[in-house]
Amino acid sequence: MVVRPSVLDRALRPLHHWVWRDPHRCARKLLRFADTEADGGRDISRAAELTPDPLLRRLYLRHAHDELRHADLFRTRARTLLLSLPRAHASFEANWLAPGERGLDDVRVGRGEDGSLLAFLHLSEKAAARRFAMYRQVLAYDRETQAVFDEVLKDEVYHMSYTRMQLARVAAQRSHARLRQARLGRLWKAYLRAAAALASVLGTLLLRLQYFVILPPFALLARRAQQREPEGFVPARSPTPLGSQY
Ligand SMILES: [Fe+2]
Ligand SMILES: [Fe+2]
C-alpha cells in the first residue's frame, strides 16, 4: 500500500523542509521520535499483557517489538548525525510543527478496552504513516535519514492495516463509533497542543514587547532625573535605628 502525505502536509511542504534542513534540529527530532516510539512500544506491551484475546496478544507483541526497533533506528541515526556535526548551537525547535508518531498523545491501555485501543492505534498509525511519508520526501538530500523513514514507514503501514482489520473483528458494528470517538479525542488533543503552542508564542511576544517597548521610556526618564540632580546633592539616608549608634 502506498501512503501519501495529507493535503495539509503537502501544502505545508516548504515549512517541513525548513524544519528538517537544520541537521542539529533533525538529530534532536530523531531522538525525540526515538523516545516516543519506545514509550509506544511499552504501552503496547502492556496491552498485550492485559488482553484476553490470544490473536491480539500476538499482534500487540509484534507491534511493540516493531516500535522498540524504530526507537533504536531513530536513536542510532541521531547519534551518527550528532557525531558528524560541529558543536550544537541553539535553534528554533518547532516540535508542534513536526510531531512524532503520537505527538503528545499517550496511548491509554486498560483491561477490556481493545476496541477503543485499536481505534486509537489505527488513527495514530495512519497519521504517523502520512507524516513519515512527508518527512521522507523532504529529506531527499539526506539519503541515510530517508532510509530510516523508509524502513519505519513499512511497519507503520502494516500497523495501520492490522489495527483496522482487528477493530472490525473485535468491535463489529461498533467499529465506526469507536473510530469516531477516537477521532474526537485526537482532535481535542490537537486543539490543546495548538492552544499551548499559541500561548507560548504569545507569552514570548508579550515579554519582548515589555522589554523593548515599555521598559526603555522608564529607563530614559530615570537617566534624565539623575542628570537633573544638583552637584553635591547627597540623597537622604535612612534614619539610624535607636541604639545602633552606640
Ligand atoms: Fe513506530
Ligand atoms: Fe507504529
Amino acid at 136: R
Report how far residue 7's alpha carbon sits from residue 207's, in angstroms, rounded to the nearest whole number.
Answer: 35
CA–centroid distance, 67 to ligand 1, in Å, is 4
Give tens-digit pLDDT for 13-46: 999 999 999 999 999 999 999 999 999 999 999 9
Confidence (pLDDT) at 93: 59
**pLDDT, mean of residues 92-107:** 54
Q: Which residues contact 128 (CB under 8 A, 6 or more apart)?
A: 100, 101, 102, 156
Report how far residue 162's alpha carbon sits from residue 40's, in angstroms, rounded to the nearest whole number.
Answer: 16
pTM of the model: 0.75
**pLDDT, mean of residues 149-154:** 96
CA–centroid distance, 125 to ligand 2, in Å, is 5
* CA within 13 Å, CB half, 153: 20
Indicate the SS3 state at residue 246: coil
CA–centroid distance, 66 to ligand 1, in Å, is 7
Whether the predicted pLDDT of 103 surpasses 50 = no
Q: Which residues surround ligand 1, an ion (CB under 5 A)?
A: 37, 67, 70
